[in-house]
Chains A and B, each alone.
Chain A
């Protein structure tokens, strides 16, 4: 039990400054007037209200509606629709297109998440600190994120297509063309590369922000103790960045599980559907093929997968953060 201030004072001087105890509310402390509490509640509602309304309008209602529609054959326009029970969900698990899209999405999400975080963290460590060159490089790495995904897709398809910039240069140098967008493996690799290129800038910024929260005294202490750069990074920097890593991993994972527009602009799902992501499939089934019910079932499954994955990642990260703290 912590001794009281009075005890410390009586026993002599102490290195610790006297702790200012927060005055406890006693019977003599009058309760806040009702109107003050009401005003506080009202201001809270005003502050939370818009965000809450946005969540309800743009997340909750669409999810509920999609959930309802996922059991129907609604085409998007008809005034009526038939209830199909679980048919859409059963069909989904037997659909080879869904399997292919799930595989493509998984590759993009896993490779992209790892690469974006490794690259983001590595570059953030290199670019942390003052200096004009570092500032310029930070801007350069973040720049792709400023461009829209569609612009990025068109840009890279112009660079990577069979008649694109790289292959034109290769042809001019009498070298064989590289089938960036015409071979399924190359096309998927190209999409993954562009996804990483367009995403990791945000991770750099977030890791830079995380690095700046690490107290200089800790780094100084490590240096005094003779720790090498790698040891300092591993034993001090990385543990201190644990919450930032968690945020970055979850953000990138969720973002990459929903990749659509970049694929649309870059490969349009080709060649022969080999770069169709899950989100691309959902959009194709809904707006192009008029299968709103089936697409709703697909999107509900995607939502569940993303939620579960996000929870698992956060749980795993928290466990590792605790392990580091201990």
Chain B
């Protein structure tokens, strides 16, 4: 059986499996009047709703008669596995809005060697085999400690901590003052918060750490990951994080923080929008995650609202044109940035004081960013890394030692690194 017919058979089977999951999806057929339908699979969040994306593309649609844009929400766990299901079913969208897994890069059409692509954040970092396959709208910072200024005052913490030792001392004072010192939680957040704190400390000296780990030249056990896990373990032992964190939902984490029960919460800059909505009864502040040596850390960051064009698209030119609009049109970019409180040089919008403070932190770091989550381009982790780390960090709440977690991560990475 030739590889073509094998692939055909595989597609047929996958189609059968996925059919039930995908019955609600658009077929992507163009309209009878000859118009072109561009399907966009978008990442839905409390802020980036389906309606938000509809409004976002409205300007483009108005200027391009004959082009229709259909916004599709994920039907699976998220945008990534929905796309995989759609690919398996032979019905992928034209544009992917969100998701930076380089495992999917092979499915994307290379973006043109144009200035608007070069100007989009993280375009260079996401290059694979010299080709840019994703254009971001902005920069999303993910190494921020949000804090309750009133709680700090009450606990006698007079300045924001710069080192982990100072941070731990501050957490102890906050505990004595009756607060949950640091708000952690379950679901995806356990591992994510660990990465938010660890990555600036690992990649400030080894920016290509993921790439090096793929080659086996660095290890978790021998890096600042292990050092950070030791600190984290001490927090668990000393009750500086909720002992029942694994059972706390993300929304409950936010609720606890905005209700003034917990004094600090490590999260990405999008939390500023949630805080603005919640209008907490205290003054909220933000500082960068601490470092071991007290130096100003780079921010672990992601491309905000990135877009890719599927190579299977029948309307590649129109899809690329739409992506160009989304990442370079002043109005569209500003709308995207302001929705989540993201950043981009040369673009400004009316932001909350907290978001302005976050922008100052990026300036203080000299605009330097490092990888977070699965990484980007050649500096990417194997698929499943954030999930595996999440499981391992959660196990620390159940008594697993930091050493064992670091060892388990090394074992996992070695077994899953690209050969």
Chain B positions within 8 Å of A163 at CB level: 248-249, 252, 255-256
Contact of B12 among A61, A177, A182 (CB under 8 A): A61
Chain B positions within 8 Å of A182 at CB level: 186, 243-248, 397
The reply to whether the CB of A130 lies closer than 8 angstroms to some CB of chain B is no
Given contacts A77-B104, A161-B247, A163-B255, contact A271 B398 (CB under 8 A): yes
Q: Which 3 A-B pairs have the closest CB atoms?
A: A65-B13, A182-B247, A271-B246
Contact of A287 among B9, B85, B394, B400 (CB under 8 A): B85
From 272 to 326 in chain B, residues with beta carbon under 8 angstroms from any chain A beta carbon are none
Residue of chain A at shortest CB distance from B416: A289
Stretch from A26-34, A68-76, A196-204, A208-216 forming part of the interface with B: A68-76
Chain B positions within 8 Å of A58 at CB level: 16, 19
- Do B387 and A65 touch (CB < 8 A)? no
- Do B9 and A162 touch (CB < 8 A)? no
Chain A positions within 8 Å of B242 at CB level: 162
Chain B positions within 8 Å of A80 at CB level: 3
Chain A positions within 8 Å of B84 at CB level: 76-77, 287, 290
From 263 to 304 in chain A, residues with beta carbon under 8 angstroms from any chain B beta carbon are 264, 268-274, 284, 287-290
Chain B positions within 8 Å of A289 at CB level: 383-384, 387, 416
- Least CB distance from A202 to B in Å reads 20
The reply to whether the CB of A123 lies closer than 8 angstroms to some CB of chain B is no
Question: Most chain-B CB neighbours within 10 Å: which of A68, A162, A184?
Answer: A162
- Least CB distance from A195 to B in Å reads 18
- Do A268 and B187 touch (CB < 8 A)? yes
- Least CB distance from B220 to A in Å reads 17
Q: How far is the CA of A163 from the CA of B180 in the complex (A)?
A: 13
Residue of chain B at shortest CB distance from A158: B249
- Least CB distance from B291 to A in Å reads 28
Residue of chain B at shortest CB distance from A268: B187
Contact of B247 among A62, A76, A180, A269 (CB under 8 A): A180
The reply to whether the CB of B88 lies closer than 8 angstroms to some CB of chain A is yes
Q: How far is the CA of A162 from the CA of B190 in the complex (A)?
A: 15
One digit per residue, 1 when the CB lies within 8 angstroms of any chain A CB and 0 when it does not, for chain B 211-247 equals: 0000000000000000000000000000000111111
- Do B244 and A179 touch (CB < 8 A)? yes
Q: How far is the CA of A279 from the CA of B219 in the complex (A)?
A: 32
Chain B positions within 8 Å of A180 at CB level: 247
- Least CB distance from A174 to B in Å reads 15
Q: How far is the CA of A71 from the CA of B7 in the complex (A)?
A: 15
Residue of chain B at shortest CB distance from A274: B398
The reply to whether the CB of B160 lies closer than 8 angstroms to some CB of chain A is no
Q: How far is the CA of A286 from the CA of B255 in the complex (A)?
A: 34
Chain A positions within 8 Å of B383 at CB level: 288-290
The reply to whether the CB of A194 lies closer than 8 angstroms to some CB of chain B is no
- Do A181 and B13 touch (CB < 8 A)? no
The reply to whether the CB of A79 lies closer than 8 angstroms to some CB of chain B is yes
Chain A positions within 8 Å of B243 at CB level: 182
Chain A positions within 8 Å of B244 at CB level: 162, 177, 179, 182
- Do B87 and A272 touch (CB < 8 A)? no
The reply to whether the CB of A251 lies closer than 8 angstroms to some CB of chain B is no
The reply to whether the CB of A113 lies closer than 8 angstroms to some CB of chain B is no
Question: Most chain-A CB neighbours within 10 Å: which of B13, B19, B87?
Answer: B13
Chain B positions within 8 Å of A274 at CB level: 398
Contact of A66 among B13, B87, B398 (CB under 8 A): B13
- Do A162 and B248 touch (CB < 8 A)? yes
- The interface on chain A, measured as residues whose beta carbon lies within 8 A of the other chain's beta carbons, has a size of 43
Contact of B391 among A69, A76, A272 (CB under 8 A): A272
Residue of chain B at shortest CB distance from A157: B249
* A-B contacts, 10 listed (Cβ < 8 Å): A61-B12, A65-B13, A76-B87, A161-B252, A177-B244, A182-B186, A182-B244, A184-B398, A271-B398, A288-B81
A interface SS class: loop
- Do B10 and A69 touch (CB < 8 A)? yes
Chain A positions within 8 Å of B76 at CB level: 287
Interface contacts (Cβ under 8 Å), in number, total: 121
* 4 additional contacts (CB under 8 A) given A271-B186, A272-B391: A74-B10, A182-B244, A183-B398, A271-B398
- Least CB distance from B402 to A in Å reads 14
- Least CB distance from A168 to B in Å reads 10
The reply to whether the CB of A57 lies closer than 8 angstroms to some CB of chain B is yes
Q: How far is the CA of A75 from the CA of B395 in the complex (A)?
A: 28
Q: How far is the CA of A77 from the CA of B92 in the complex (A)?
A: 12
Chain A positions within 8 Å of B106 at CB level: 77-78
The reply to whether the CB of A64 lies closer than 8 angstroms to some CB of chain B is yes
- Do B3 and A264 touch (CB < 8 A)? no
Residue of chain B at shortest CB distance from A168: B252
- Least CB distance from A67 to B in Å reads 10
Chain A positions within 8 Å of B400 at CB level: 272
Contact of A181 among B19, B80, B186 (CB under 8 A): B186
Chain B positions within 8 Å of A272 at CB level: 246, 391-392, 394-395, 397-398, 400
From 89 to 113 in chain A, residues with beta carbon under 8 angstroms from any chain B beta carbon are none
- Least CB distance from B244 to A in Å reads 4
Q: How far is the CA of A157 from the CA of B245 in the complex (A)?
A: 14
- Least CB distance from A300 to B in Å reads 13
Q: How far is the CA of A270 from the CA of B384 in the complex (A)?
A: 15
- Least CB distance from A131 to B in Å reads 39
Residue of chain B at shortest CB distance from A181: B247
- Least CB distance from A188 to B in Å reads 13
Residue of chain A at shortest CB distance from B13: A65
Chain A positions within 8 Å of B3 at CB level: 79-80
Contact of A162 among B16, B188, B247, B384 (CB under 8 A): B247
Q: How far is the CA of A120 from the CA of B186 in the complex (A)?
A: 34
- Least CB distance from B375 to A in Å reads 16
Q: How far is the CA of A203 from the CA of B126 in the complex (A)?
A: 53
The reply to whether the CB of B169 lies closer than 8 angstroms to some CB of chain A is no
Chain A positions within 8 Å of B103 at CB level: 75, 77, 290
Contact of B16 among A57, A79, A179, A290 (CB under 8 A): A57
Chain B positions within 8 Å of A68 at CB level: 9
- Least CB distance from B52 to A in Å reads 23
- Do A76 and B186 touch (CB < 8 A)? no
From 232 to 248 in chain A, residues with beta carbon under 8 angstroms from any chain B beta carbon are none
- Least CB distance from B373 to A in Å reads 13
One digit per residue, 1 when the CB lies within 8 angstroms of any chain A CB and 0 when it does not, for chain B 378-419 equals: 000001100100011011011010000000000000001000
Chain B positions within 8 Å of A157 at CB level: 249
Chain A positions within 8 Å of B338 at CB level: none
- Least CB distance from A70 to B in Å reads 12
Q: How far is the CA of A291 from the CA of B400 in the complex (A)?
A: 28
Residue of chain A at shortest CB distance from B19: A58
